[in-house]
């Protein structure tokens, strides 16, 4: 599991509270309200987030799944068996810590470009 921070902002960049969000990947579906935290199963598949609130246009976010550092160690030192297990279970992957949904827009977030000083906290 990975804990992620979920926030929603309007087209005017103001924080929107109480948006209902549905997060989904090949390992399951989770529901949460913003702002807040949600625990999701890690996966090699990207995470899709759809948020809705009355009076606002829906927001869509795609969080790119990236291989975690331990996955590469398994490939190099473990002969690949550990990497296969991590891949099949999804434990060898991570999503960006923060999911900043922009209502009325479609956004892609990638851990590769994530601010290294960012933490998984609701803002």
19, two tokens: 């948006």
Of 59-68, 83-92, 100-109, the poorest mean pLDDT is in 83-92
What are the structural domain ranges in the chain? 2-67+93-112
Per-residue model confidence (pLDDT) at position 112 = 79
Convert the pLDDT of each residue in 56-84 to its tens digit: 999 999 999 998 754 444 445 555 544 44
Q: How far from the centroid of its chain's Cα atoms is residue 70's Cα?
A: 19
Instruction: Say if residue 118's pLDDT is above 60.
Output: no
The owner of tokens 């000083």 is: 117
Cβ–Cβ < 8 Å for 74, 88: no
Name the pLDDT band for 114 (thresholds 50, 70, 90).
low
> Under DSSP, is residue 54 helix (H, G, I), strand (E, B) or coil?
coil
> Under DSSP, is residue 67 helix (H, G, I), strand (E, B) or coil?
strand
Instruction: Residues 2-67+93-112: name the CATH superfamily.
Output: Carboxypeptidase-like, regulatory domain (2.60.40.1120)
Convert the pLDDT of each residue in 6-41 to its tens digit: 999 998 999 999 999 999 999 999 999 999 999 999
Strand partners, 29: 24
The pTM for the full model equals: 0.76
Mean pLDDT computed over 81-100: 66
């Amino acid at each position: 599991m990975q804990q992620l921070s979920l926030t929603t902002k309007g087209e005017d960049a103001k924080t929107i509270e109480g948006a209902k969000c549905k997060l989904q990947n090949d390992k399951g579906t989770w529901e949460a309200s913003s702002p807040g935290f949600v625990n999701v199963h890690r996966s090699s598949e990207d995470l899709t987030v759809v948020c809705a609130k009355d009076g606002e246009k829906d927001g869509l976010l795609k969080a790119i799944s990236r291989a975690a550092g331990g996955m590469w160690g398994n490939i190099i030192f473990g002969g690949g068996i550990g990497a296969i297990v991590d891949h099949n279970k999804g434990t060898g992957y991570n999503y960006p810590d923060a999911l900043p949904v922009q209502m009325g827009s479609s956004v892609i977030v990638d851990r590769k470009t994530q601010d290294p000083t960012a933490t998984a906290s609701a803002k």
